[in-house]
Structure 1
Amino acid sequence: MKIIIVGCGKVGRTIAEQLSREGHDITVIDLRQDRVKMVTEKYDLMGVIGNGASHSVQKDAGIESSDLLIAVTDSDELNLLCCLIAKKAGDCSTIARVRNPVYNKEAAFIKEELGLSMVINPEFAAATEMARLLRFPQAIEIDTFAKGRVELLKFRIPSGSILHNLPITQISSKLRCDVLVCAVERGGQTTIPTGSFVLQERDTISIVSEPKSTSEFFRKIGLDVHRVKDAMIVGGGRLAYYLGHQLLEAGISVKIIEQNSKRCEDLCMLLPRAVIIEGDGTDKEILEEEGLKRTEAFITLTGFDEENILLSLFARAHTKAKLITKIKRTNFNEVIDNMDLDSIIYPQYITSEYILQYVRAKQNSRGSNIETLYKILDEKAEAVEFYINEDSEVAGMMLEELQLKQNILISCINRGGKIIIPRGKDTIESGDTVIVITTERLYDISDILK
């Protein structure tokens, strides 16, 4: 596909990187020459310097022959204007980043009335993922499928766990829980395991199951399944607002520490049920005075990755709270992942996943549609949910009859709301949605076959 990306900030660069890996023809537009030069040289893309809302600039970028324009500048209004001009100039699909809370409430109206293919709010999406983690604090990462009926949940096996030295095939019979282990991370290596794989303590594993089965599984292996009762958030930006609102709606007490007095006043108006503290969240005396040792969740959302990391490491040494750390830069993720930071959230990765899902679905016109797509296991694998059409090659076949490629695992079948953790005799039928874990790049369910 021919794709134009307006805006070469962190989100724009991440999207350009992901889409260029997929082999798309990418052109970027930005007013800043240094940004355009950096992106075009790093990812071997075309670049245009100028205002992305200008018709002539869009023409120079090839809007008349483009399939998609993605506007991710720092201005919501500019992004919407870019998309409107692109619709008129090239009749292509359009995606806009819209971050303002006022617009967020009207996202469906904006999308429909302006003819946008997608409206993306990275902070709102990141807040939703964080809120999900705080409802199940033992998890490092949670992704959802089948409209929330299925979870892909990642956690670390604790020392002394019943899972230590247990072959995967024995989990169902020993624990009587309908869960599927779909990935194991051990010593820097990632494996999509077979049934004979033996789990070890300190492994990081990913399981697929229904939420009620997940809770039962965690109880049986001795892990707490209760959501947190309160959360302390350092940093009071948009993400803190979205997260605070979602947590308060879920009945979780919220305390936000923010040093900008004007922003504190705004947050008091926006979140009247939250406790807003004006102060420096990096001051350990303030953290201790405000109850760091007693809080059940500690979330670092300042604008600086270094502050977020140091604060989380400090909290790790002084509390047993669930930790969530926001990271903007992705070029040091291998180092960061080795730190004991609990859950790490990269907002721009969440945005790129939504866009990748849309682009792959638009490319596909065969026997299935991509419903959901997540990059998992530090970008080493993907979890893809397909909707199975009548003319799909796999429809009506038992799983044991399928000649699958290596590193492919069919982890779940959703049949009209009934969740099936599949075995060899199960079949895939038209109308099902099927979740596949893979290290391959898939555009259609038939891509799983040799």
Structure 2
Amino acid sequence: MGCGRVGSMLATGLERRGHSVAVIDVNVDAFRRLGQDYKGLTVKGVGFDREVLEAAGIRRADAFAAVSSGDNSNILAARVVRENYHVDNVVARIYDQGRAAVYERLGIPTVATVKWTVSQVLRRLLPEGSEPVWRDPTGTARLLQIHVHPGWVGRRISELQAAAGTPIPFVQRVGRGIVPDRDTIFQDGDLIYVACHTDRTDELETLFATPPAKH
């Protein structure tokens, strides 16, 4: 939702990665920012209107980004999508950092303008192919923020760490960071941070994009 500079960059970036995309905006002229090569859907309307969302294919959506110019519209749309359509990967752009913290605690990931980058939103939307949160200057090691398949819910973080064969130094839970101990349980909505060698990035993202193997 939102086809300004950020929304158009997200839409075209996702499409280049092979994803199907629908863009919602109240102003049809905004769709010109998508360029002639954009092949996805464009829908005129507000992103918290259910008819508009359904016209954009929300019932088939894997992720939703609310990146219009209004905090209230973004958070309302994010809540409608999360609560009514049960889309797990939802992120809202929020200008007010104080309000962003409140919504994070409600379980809605936000990106405040002062720390905004398109890659931050892509990391939250995509279970694979994300950019690292941090990398060392030599490119040898990195810290990855990884979305984990719901099949891991209820497992100990120590089990995830053992499966990965690399440290999981902390977990983000409803907007707060926690350092897991051996008994910490992975919960629905948690984001894990994995420290790894760069050449293992694809392997680890693929590992956690699928449910754990049955014993």
Q: Same fold (TM over 0.5)?
A: yes
Among residues 199, 203, 208, which one is paired with 1:444 in the alignment?
A: 203
SS in 1 for 2:21: strand
For the residues of structure 1 that align with 2:197 and 2:28, how far apart are their CA atoms?
A: 42
Match of 1:33 in 2: 28
State yes or no: 1:92 paired with 2:83: no
For the residues of structure 2 that align with 1:41 and 1:70, how far apart are their CA atoms?
A: 22
For the residues of structure 1 that align with 2:54 and 2:35, how far apart are their CA atoms?
A: 18
- Cα contact 1:66–1:92 (8 A) shared by 2: yes
Deviations 1:266-287 (A, max 9, x none): xxxxxxxxxxxxxxxxxxxxxx
TM-score by length of 1: 0.32
Shift of 1:87: 2.1
- Cα contact 1:8–1:30 (8 A) shared by 2: yes
Match of 2:155 in 1: none
Match of 1:171 in 2: none
Shift of 1:63: 1.0
Pair 1:371–1:28, CA change in 2 (3 A): closer
For the residues of structure 2 that align with 1:37 and 1:111, how far apart are their CA atoms?
A: 32
TM-score by length of 2: 0.63
Match of 2:119 in 1: 353
- Cα contact 2:71–2:94 (8 A) shared by 1: yes
State yes or no: 1:12 paired with 2:11: no
Structure 2, unmatched stretches of 5+, are: 147-159, 171-192, 207-215
Q: Give the AA of the match of 1:385.
A: L
Match of 1:60 in 2: 55
Shift of 1:47: 1.1
- Cα contact 2:3–2:33 (8 A) shared by 1: no
For the residues of structure 1 that align with 2:75 and 2:35, how far apart are their CA atoms?
A: 24
Deviations 1:80-124 (A, max 9, x none): 111122123311132111102xxx1243322233x41x111122x
For 1:19-418, what aligned pairs fall within 5 Å after superposition? 19-39=14-34, 41-93=36-88, 94-100=90-96, 104-113=97-106, 115-116=107-108, 118-123=109-114, 125=115, 347=116, 350=117, 352-360=118-126, 362-363=127-128, 372-373=132-133, 384-386=142-144, 389-392=161-164, 395=165
- Cα contact 2:119–2:131 (8 A) shared by 1: no
Shift of 1:416: 6.3
Pair 1:34–1:435, CA change in 2 (3 A): farther
Deviations 1:408-444 (A, max 9, x none): xxxxx87969xxxxxxxxxxxxx97115279xxx543
For the aligned residue pairs, the C-alpha RMSD in angstroms reads 3.7
For the residues of structure 2 that align with 1:86 and 1:446, how far apart are their CA atoms?
A: 25
Q: How much identity, in percent, do the aligned residues show?
A: 22
Q: Give the AA of the match of 1:39.
A: L
Pair 1:69–1:40, CA change in 2 (3 A): farther
Shift of 1:18: 2.2
- Cα contact 2:64–2:125 (8 A) shared by 1: no
Pair 1:353–1:55, CA change in 2 (3 A): same
Q: Give the AA of the match of 1:59.
A: E
- Cα contact 1:353–1:373 (8 A) shared by 2: no
Q: Give the AA of the match of 1:436.
A: T
Shift of 1:37: 4.3
Pair 1:83–1:432, CA change in 2 (3 A): closer
Q: Would you say how many aligned residue pairs link Structure 1 and Structure 2? A: 168
For the residues of structure 1 that align with 2:9 and 2:77, how far apart are their CA atoms?
A: 19
- Cα contact 2:133–2:142 (8 A) shared by 1: yes
Deviations 1:357-401 (A, max 9, x none): 2234x359xxxxx794469xxxxx9x8524873224xx3xxxxxx
For the residues of structure 2 that align with 1:86 and 1:434, how far apart are their CA atoms?
A: 33
Shift of 1:21: 2.1
**Greater relative contact order structure (CA < 8 Å, 6+ sep):** 2
